Structure 1
Amino acid sequence: MPEYKQFLLADTAEGLTEAEIVEWKVQPGDEVKVNQIVVEIETAKAAVELPIPWAGVVTELLAEPGQTVEVGSPILTVDVDPNGTASPTPSGNGAEPASADSGGDTSGGKGEEEMQPLVGYGSKGSAPAKRRPRKKAAAVRTGAPEPVQTVEVVRPRTAVEDMTKPAVPPSPASASTFVPLAKPPVRKLAKELGVDLRTVPGAAQGEVITREDVLRAAEGTSTPPAATGAARAAQPAVDPATRERRVPIRGVRKATAQAMVASAYTAPHVTEFLTVDVTPMMELREKLKNSPEFAGIKLTPLAFAAKAVCLAAKRTPDVNAVWDEDAGEIVYKDYVHLGIAAATPRGLVVPKVRDADSLSLAELARAIADLTATAREGRTPPEDMLNGTFTITNVGVFGVDGGTPIINPGESAILALGAVRDMPWVVDGELAVRKVMQLSLSFDHRVVDGQQGSQFLADVGALLSDPAVAITY
């Protein structure tokens, strides 16, 4: 008989309380295998794909794309015994007996914790095949017919199940839960062009929607369709009466706001500024571009700044420490997990380059490029968002000269890089046009004194204005 299990939303990182359903990878009626990816979710830290801990047949989706679900809530129902081969031994009155050693468990005497592997689900489960023969044999010995479970059989079909019928297009009533097949870049393009993927020809038949399909649909679309789910949150309708639109505070935006408020009202911030002539750095950058070691590497001022921060932090370890209020201690880190603030479509995220102080300039440049590209795609693993020791934010890419950045919680300093500009500068008593950049350092005054913050900022500036200084460190 059918045996249903509910797949719970797991905590994919430390302290998460909720996540948003981005895309279902399966539909009711689909067969799934152990470890198969069934859903993509968006947490406050990153987009994550979740695998299913059992094999079976999907019977119901309990959340819609765009819906925010609390950790621990059921989001999917799976029939792990669709062929009815694991029916328990019936009792004299046709009821299912609960054995003394199983405590009423119908999993063949094995605890539920053994059936829940993977992320957030504890230990690895046992295969259903190991328990089915014993139960089936017991039913044969009694000579009694297998009982039929009717609880789930009599439930009405859901709108999502109706969508799986290949010959029937999605109806307006069920459109909110129908998820067409398309890759993330295609979904992004559709969102930008105002194309509802559910209306693209072939979507209802389960065909994979391509970029060309979206472009053809856009040419024939006079008005953008109403958005649902995640698209509704990203592009809310404007109220004609107030000429305002309201966006729910969730995901990355919610997490960023909470972290910044906590930091601003906990750590006493001090910000110092330094304007430096980075002409030698830019000249070295041009030379290194032609070096075989840097072939295919995008060498940016951010990479030079990252290397300078790692070197300067060794001379001023206070900027790489953290104030532990609960323990009454200042914790000094003998490693640099360098956070790189990245602006993404989901909001501001700060993935980390692990042990950045042990990397060469070329390795740092490559790591930063990979890190930011992954972040913009929303694919940063949750573990790469944790336990940073120092952060760099490059506001110069937006043409901004400087600012007063807020320290990330768990750190004691953050450096903002301004734009590199051609400006008049005095060199050896003569006025010349040079490449100039402004540095802005914010630090926690509980950990870092003015002298230490100034020394660190001066060291970073010296390394950027004359990279040869690095050999003296």
Structure 2
Amino acid sequence: MSATMIKEFRLPDLGEGLTESEILSWKVGVGDTVSLNQVIAEVETAKAVVELPSPFAGVITALHEQPGTIVEVGKPIVSFEVADDGGEQPSTATPAGVGANHAGAWSGANGGGSGPAAGSGAVDSNSVEAGASTRQPNLVGYGAVVESSGRPVRRSRILAAPPAAPVSPGRTPEAPAAVEPSLEIPGAPAGERPRSTPPVRKLAKDLGVELAEVTGSGPGGLITRDDVRKFIGGGDLPAAARNLGAAPDGQGTTAGARASEEREVRTPIRGVRKFTAAAMVASAFTAPHVTEFLTIDVTPAMDLLARLKASRAFAGYKLTPLTLGAKAVLIALRRNPSLNSRWDDARQEIVQFNYVNLGIAAATPRGLTVPNIKDADTLSLTELSEALTGLTETARAGKTSPAELSGGTISITNIGVFGIDAGTPILNPGEAAILALGAVRRAPWEFQGEVALRQVMTLSLSFDHRLVDGEQGSRFLADVGAILADPGMVLTMV
């Protein structure tokens, strides 16, 4: 029988110095045999949803965190039983979408041949020396700061899962039962609370229900709103709930439960929403914003769009006002490069980019993201159309990678799709400008000396006044407007 050992996989730094991630789902369970680089979990960082590949080939012995848990970088999340070949190194694979430039620290992450002797069964925990206060290398980059206890510093959101039990020498370790969430479940030991979400706890409190008496039907014993309502409807209604006026309404829902639902809903601030909020606050109070507006007749551009859609050369491509607007921005940047720059406060330098990574603000179920198209200035109109389509579809599916969210140089937000004419967009942090494209509307407009119904759009340009003077911002906005008002003007600009 070949010797085996237990290895732990710590949550990696998924790039950009992020310190925590939320476990969304496990793709494997305790006892499953996994192969090298097989996707084992899906996690959400402050920027994107990322798939984690397995660093080992072996058997899952423990899942240390449950879905919905916020985990600090560097904390063990899963244990494997692997063959001990005396010198095995873990995989150098990176999570899906993470750039290779973030992956250099993998080899020190999970111990390779530095673990215990073959067959000992001791857990290789990748511990640091006592008294050290440093960041542990793991899958990508460096992990959470480790205190003198050797444990990563993290917020106390749920109680830590128990470590895998040690195995006697010479005996193959048995796969332990799946680690139960340390938030409360019915019948849990004293000191633990039933596992539930803040809105459910609020509902239970309003109705006078003790969650310890409710059986959870959600994942891992999670107590849901329906569980609380079923508990009340089952005849076990506490006196406190009856005193709240628990007579059922016409829909069979208690008045107290309905009032609790309709009056207030609380959602934890985490993931993309948390990151976006912090970034917008930092941008608004760091860069001096200036916003300029320009309303233009885009009838010629809309006519061009209709002709392109009817052309066989553009069959199968998704062409929209955003496509033309993005192309106009890329052309105008050649004449106004100051809007494609960054303020480097640390080095007191202005960095002007000779390439354009064009960010596109995308509304997703997880919040606002701004993925960018790398080297967009080198793309033809059809290539730009394909890139925009792929970018938006990936963003809406929540699959945008950290690499696609970093390195942007200028952004566009298409508020016109929501029927909005104009706004004052906030700069994506680190960028000099952002352009908002308003809705295309039929409106009375002066045309050839008469008033006619024309297709009109308003452009809103916000820029960092440290980097861009009023003249430069105005010239750029005028160039974008001139292209959309008369696409033939491109011939005078390139």
TM-score category, normalised to shorter length:
0.7 to 0.9
| Cα deviation 1:264-315 (Å, max 9, x = unaligned) | 1110000000000000000000100121221111100001010000010110
The C-alpha deviation readout for 1:332-353, integer Å capped at 9, x for no partner, is: 1111100000001111011111
Listed as ranges, the matches of 1:238-387 within 5 Å are 240=260, 243-387=263-407
Q: How does 1:56-455 map to 2 (within 5 A)?
A: 56-81=58-83, 86=84, 108=86, 110=87, 114-115=89-90, 117-119=92-94, 120=103, 122-123=106-107, 148=169, 158-159=179-180, 172=215, 175-177=218-220, 240=260, 243-455=263-475
User: Match for residue 167 of structure 1?
Assistant: none
CA distance in 2, matches of 1:411, 1:296: 33
Distance 1:370 1:340 in 2: 12
> Conserved in 2, the CA contact under 8 Å of 1:115 and 1:124?
no
2:492 is the alignment partner of 1:472: yes
Q: Which amino acid aligns with 2:370?
A: V
Please say if residues 44 and 250 of structure 1, whose CA atoms lie closer than 8 Å, have aligned partners that are also in contact: yes
One-letter amino acid matched to 1:251: G
Could you tell me how far 1:465 is from its partner in structure 2? Answer: 0.4
Q: Which letter maps to 1:123?
A: S
Q: Distance in 2 between matches of 1:350 and 1:427?
A: 37
Amino acid at match of 2:289: H
Cα distance 1:155–1:361, how it changes in 2: closer, same or farther (>3 A)?
closer
CA contact (8 A) 2:7 2:110 kept: no
Assess if the C-alpha contact under 8 Å between 1:275 and 1:438 holds in 2.
yes
Partner of 2:50: 48
CA separation of 1:223 and 1:32: change in aligned 2, threshold 3 A? farther
Residues 402/251 of structure 1: CA separation in 2 closer, same or farther (3 Å cut):
same
What CA RMSD, in Å, does the superposition of the two structures yield over aligned residues? 3.4
1:38 maps to 2:57 = no
Letter in 2 for 1:249: I
Q: 1:274 to 1:55 in 2, by over 3 A?
A: same
Cα gap change, 1:125 to 1:400, in 2 (>3 Å): closer
Please state whether the residue corresponding to 2:66 is helix, strand or coil.
coil
The AA in structure 2 aligned to 1:148 is P
Partner Cα distance (1:269, 1:157) in 2: 52
Count of residues paired in the alignment: 375
Using the TM superposition, name which of 288-297 and 274-283 deviates more.
288-297
Counterpart code for 1:472: T
Structure 2 CA distance for aligned equivalents of residues 428 and 414 of structure 1: 32
- Conserved? CA contact 2:30–2:175, under 8 Å: no
- Percent identical among aligned pairs is 53
Q: How far apart in 2 are the matches of 1:466 and 1:69? A: 53
Distance (whole Å) between structure 2 residues aligned to residue 45 and residue 34 of structure 1: 26
Cross-structure match for 1:13: 15
In structure 2, the CA distance between the partners of 1:265 and 1:70, relative to structure 1 (3 Å rule), is same
Report the TM-score when normalising by structure 2.
Answer: 0.70
* Unpaired segments ≥5 residues, structure 2: 95-102, 120-166, 182-213, 228-250
> 1-side partners of 2:13 and 2:309: how far apart?
43
- The 1:157–1:38 alpha-carbon spacing in structure 2 relative to 1, beyond 3 Å, is closer
Q: d(CA) in 1 for partners of 2:177 and 2:93?
A: 31
**Counterpart of 2:232?**
none
Provide Cα deviations, 1:169-220, integer angstroms capped at 9, x if missing partner: xx956853389xxxxxxxxxxx9xx999xxxxxxxxxxxxxxxxxxxxxxxx
Structure 1 counterpart of 2:219, one-letter code: S
Deviations 1:344-383 (A, max 9, x none): 1111011111111111112111110111011100111210
Separation in 2, partners of 1:306, 1:386: 19
1:228 aligns with: none
Q: Deviations over 1:92-135 (max 9, x none)?
A: xxxxxxxxxxxxxxx73x4x8x335323551399999x99xx96
Q: Corresponding residue for 1:184?
A: none
Q: Give the Cα–Cα distance (whole angstroms) in 2 for the partners of residues 76 and 336 of structure 1.
A: 40
Structure 1: which amino acid aligns with 2:377?
D
TM-score (norm 1): 0.73
- Structure 1: stretches of 5+ with no match in the other structure: 87-106, 137-145, 161-170, 180-190, 197-221, 225-236
Taking a change above 3 Å as real, the CA distance of residues 447 and 127 of structure 1, as seen in their structure-2 partners, is closer
Q: 8 Å contact 1:117–1:125 — kept in the other structure?
A: no
Q: Return the letter of the residue paired with 1:176.
A: P
Q: Cα gap change, 1:327/1:157 in structure 2, threshold over 3 Å: closer, same or farther?
A: closer
Contact 2:4–2:118 under 8 Å retained in 1:
no
**CA distance in 1 between partners of 2:226 and 2:360 (Å):** 34
Three-state SS of the structure 2 residue aligned to 1:20 is strand
Deviation of 1:45 after TM superposition, in Å, equals: 1.4
Shift of 1:68: 1.2
For 1:332 and 1:238, the matched residues in 2 are separated by 56
* Rounded Cα–Cα distance in structure 2 between residues aligned with 1:288 and 1:124: 54
Contact 1:159 1:174 in 2 (8 A): no
SS in 1 for 2:23: strand
Amino acid paired to 1:80: V
What amino acid is the match of 2:92?
Answer: P
